[in-house]
Chains A and B, each alone.
Chain A
Amino acid sequence: MKLDINGTVRDVDATPEMPLLWVLRDILGFTGTKFGCGMAQCGACTVHLDGQPVRSCITPVSTVGARKVRTIEGLSTDGSHPVQRAWAETDVVQCGYCQSGQIMTTVALLAQKPDPSDADIDAALSGNICRCGTYARIREAVHLAAKLSRGGAK
Chain B
Amino acid sequence: MSAAGLVVAFHVPQGRAAPAPAPAPAPAAPPLPPPNAFLRIGTDDSVTVMIAHSEMGQGIWTGLAMLIAEELECDWSKVRSEHAPAAPVYKHTAFPVQMTGGSTTTWSEFERYRTVGATAKDMLVRAAAARWKVKPETCKVANGVVSHGKDQLSFGKLAEAAMALPPPKTVKLKDPKDWKLIGTPVRRLDTPEKITGKAQFGIDVQFPGLRVAVVARPPAFGAKLAKFDASAALKVPGVEKVVPTANGVAVVAKHFWAAKLGRDALHIDWTPPAGGGVDTTKLMAEFRATAKKPGTIVTKKGEIDAGLAGAKTKLTAEYEVPYLAHAPMEPLNCTVKIDGDRCEIWTGTQFQTGDQMAAAMILGIPPEKAVEKVTIHTMFLGGGFGRRGNPAADFVSEAVIVAKAAGVPVKVVWTREDDMHGGYYRPAYVHRIQTGLDEHGRPTAWDHVVVGQSIIAGTPFEPMMMQHGTDPTSVEGLAESPYLEGTGALRVSLHSPKTAIPVLWWRSVGNTHTAFAMESMIDEVAHAANQDPLAYRLALLKDKPRHAAALSLAADKAGWSTPPAAGRARGLAVHESFGSIVAQVAEVSIENGQIRVHSVTCAVDCGIAVNPLGIEAQIQGAVVFGLSAVLHGKLTLTGGAVNESNFHDYPVLRMYEMPRVAVHIIQSKARMGGIGEPATAPIAPAVANAVFALTKQRLRTLPLRLA
**Residue in B195, B197, B384, B623 whose beta carbon sits within 8 Å of that of A133 in the complex:** B623
1/0 contact trace for B195-239 toward A, CB 8 Å? 111111101101000001000000000000000000000000100
**Closest approach, in angstroms, between the C-beta of A64 and any C-beta of chain B?**
15
A79 near B196 with CB under 8 A, answer yes
Q: Which of B5-13, B533-541, B654-662 contacts A (4 or more CB under 8 A)?
A: B654-662
**Please, which residues of chain B bring their CB within 8 A of the CB of A41?**
646-648
**Please, which residues of chain B bring their CB within 8 A of the CB of A56?**
none
**Closest approach, in angstroms, between the C-beta of A100 and any C-beta of chain B?**
5
**Closest approach, in angstroms, between the C-beta of A74 and any C-beta of chain B?**
9
**Residue in B206, B617, B647 whose beta carbon sits within 8 Å of that of A37 in the complex:** B647
Main secondary structure of the interface of A (DSSP, over half): loop
**Residue in B329, B380, B613 whose beta carbon sits within 8 Å of that of A129 in the complex:** B329
The winner among A19, A36, A93, A94 for most chain B CB atoms within 10 A is: A94
**Please, which residues of chain A bring their CB within 8 A of the CB of B384?**
95
For the complex, give the distance between the alpha carbons of A127 and B652 in Å: 11
A29 (CB) vs chain B CBs: closest residue: B206
For the complex, give the distance between the alpha carbons of A100 and B198 in Å: 10
B381 near A18 with CB under 8 A, answer no
B326 (CB) vs chain A CBs: closest residue: A131
B329 near A44 with CB under 8 A, answer yes
B195 near A94 with CB under 8 A, answer no
B190 near A135 with CB under 8 A, answer no
A132 near B57 with CB under 8 A, answer yes
**Residue in A42, A72, A100, A132 whose beta carbon sits within 8 Å of that of B621 in the complex:** A132
**Closest approach, in angstroms, between the C-beta of A81 and any C-beta of chain B?**
9
| B58 contacts the other chain (CB 8 A) | yes
**Closest approach, in angstroms, between the C-beta of B373 and any C-beta of chain A?**
29
| B568 contacts the other chain (CB 8 A) | no
For the complex, give the distance between the alpha carbons of A138 and B658 in Å: 11
For the complex, give the distance between the alpha carbons of A122 and B658 in Å: 9
1/0 contact trace for A108-147 toward B, CB 8 Å? 0000000000000111011111111111111100000000
A75 (CB) vs chain B CBs: closest residue: B196
**Closest approach, in angstroms, between the C-beta of A147 and any C-beta of chain B?**
17
For the complex, give the distance between the alpha carbons of A137 and B653 in Å: 15
A133 near B620 with CB under 8 A, answer yes
For the complex, give the distance between the alpha carbons of A63 and B56 in Å: 36
**Residue in A88, A98, A126 whose beta carbon sits within 8 Å of that of B329 in the complex:** A98
The winner among A41, A75, A78, A127 for most chain B CB atoms within 10 A is: A41
A32 near B196 with CB under 8 A, answer yes
Q: Which residues of B contact A (CB under 8 A)?
A: 55-59, 187-188, 190-201, 203-204, 206, 212, 237, 254-257, 327-331, 380-385, 413, 415-417, 613, 617, 620-625, 646-648, 652-656, 658, 660-661
Not counting A26-B254, A42-B416, A96-B382, a sample of 16 additional A-B residue pairs whose C-beta atoms are within 8 angstroms of each other reads A31-B200, A33-B197, A39-B416, A39-B648, A71-B197, A72-B196, A87-B195, A88-B191, A95-B330, A95-B382, A95-B383, A96-B57, A99-B194, A122-B655, A127-B654, A133-B622
Q: List 17 A-B contacts (CB under 8 A).
A: A25-B204, A29-B206, A31-B197, A31-B204, A36-B329, A36-B416, A38-B415, A73-B196, A87-B191, A92-B195, A93-B191, A95-B56, A126-B655, A126-B656, A129-B329, A134-B617, A137-B620
